[in-house]
A and B are shown apart, each in its own frame.
Chain A
Amino acid sequence: MDGIHDLGGKRGYGAIDQVTGAPFAQRWEGAVFTMTRTARSCGALQNTDQFRFAVERIDPVAYLTHGYYGRWLGAVESLLVEARVITSEELTARVVAGGGDPSALVAARPDPELGPIAAESAEGARRSPTQPARFQVGQRVRTARHASHGHTRLPAYARDRGGIIRALHDSWVLPDTNAHGEGECPSHLYTVEFTGAELWGNDAEAATSVCLDLFEPYLSALDVEEARDG
């Protein structure tokens, strides 16, 4: 999804605030973290890809201003509402009863079309391959140009770019379908290295590269023969 979350290469976010503290700076952050397990145990959340997609579709302004656990709160609330575990109205009523502002920006964006999806076939995301790997280490590949409506793990900055396969990493559930309960579609995963120049053109810093882990359906062969200059 072409959303606010797809931050790689974007300009304008300024200096990095290097202040560091405890993982949970405030209690509510740890509470939200724990609620992701609640969402799992009541069936509102079935897999990590579904959760990541729920984060991606929260309010984009909230994405940038509510902080990391504010994003998670938006995702958990959306999933719990979609699964009919709670209603937005009962939650907002409780916020107001606790002294909250009923007009404050809410991160959650529950989609009435969505609801619980099928459970995972096994724990974790690794699955047995259903087909042999199409690509080999050293091979040149090009990434897809597609802009997915749903969840994907091909960042926008690496679309339609040429790179070299550096490693194979077994076979895993495909996030693009798994997030939506459309099947696990076990897919081979590859580390693909892209030069800074390929990604950013004249804007690239010298002698830099980016390695991404990309699923086989995102890739097509660039050359018939294996590249030797990698």
Chain B
Amino acid sequence: MGELSETALRAEALESLLVEKGLLSESEIDQTIEFYNERVGPMNGARMVARAWVDPSFRQRLLADSTAAVAEFEFVGGEVQKLVVVENTDTVHNMVVCTLCSCYPWAVLGLPPKWYKDPAYRSRSVREPRAVLTEFGVELPAGREVRVWDSSAEVRYMVLPQRPAGTEGKSESELAELVSRDSMIGVAVL
């Protein structure tokens, strides 16, 4: 905690220096925090997943050209220059990581959770994805392949999870509520 608070003090000192030089304003910071804490988040991705579950032609468009399909929604913030949605099936389970930094599809999932940026997830996901999935409580059926997407360039990845059984009667918006952030990173199944 000592180091954390020293880091916070240094950040605050830099902030005051930049404000004094007229390069940064307090309101700019408040707006940024409000925007990312309140307005951008995994609800965007969840809406895409739910639509893909109920609308086969959207699902097809989403998998064929995810960047174009996301433009059908009017999401704000977080640039995605190219989005690729990868589909979980009865034969393949997908999960997403960025081992070199912490690349993440901001526009559809918001800012990443802390664990996604921590060394443990970044180091282990590519080497022992099955052990990582077990740690997240995911039990895959025998024989299911695991494919890990290490986001090493500007393409951003999101997982299209499988629709849970027993949800046939649910509406698109009810389905969207079932879709967790972790299922779209690939560390949960629904």
A residues sitting closer than 8 Å to B (CB atoms) are 5-11, 13-35, 37-38, 41-42, 48, 52, 55, 64-70, 73, 76-77, 80, 85-86, 90-91, 94-95, 97-101, 104-107, 124-126, 153-155, 157, 167, 169-170, 172, 175, 189, 191, 193, 199-200, 203-205, 207-215
Contacts and interface: CB of A to CB of B under 8 A. Distances in A.
Task: Please classify the interface of chain A as helix (H, G, I), strand (E, B), loop, or mixed, using the class held by over half of its residues.
Answer: mixed
B12 A17 contact: no
B11 A32 contact: yes
B163 to A, nearest CB: 24
Given A31-B11, A66-B7, A124-B79, A91 B17 contact: yes
25 contacts: A8-B126, A15-B120, A21-B114, A23-B111, A31-B11, A32-B14, A33-B32, A34-B32, A38-B18, A66-B3, A67-B4, A69-B7, A73-B7, A73-B14, A94-B16, A95-B13, A97-B13, A98-B16, A104-B2, A105-B3, A153-B100, A167-B84, A205-B131, A208-B145, A211-B149
Contact of B12 (A31, A80, A170, A209): A31
Contacts of A214: 152-153
B76 to A, nearest CB: 15
B90 interface: no
Given A30-B32, A98-B12, A153-B100, A23 B110 contact: yes
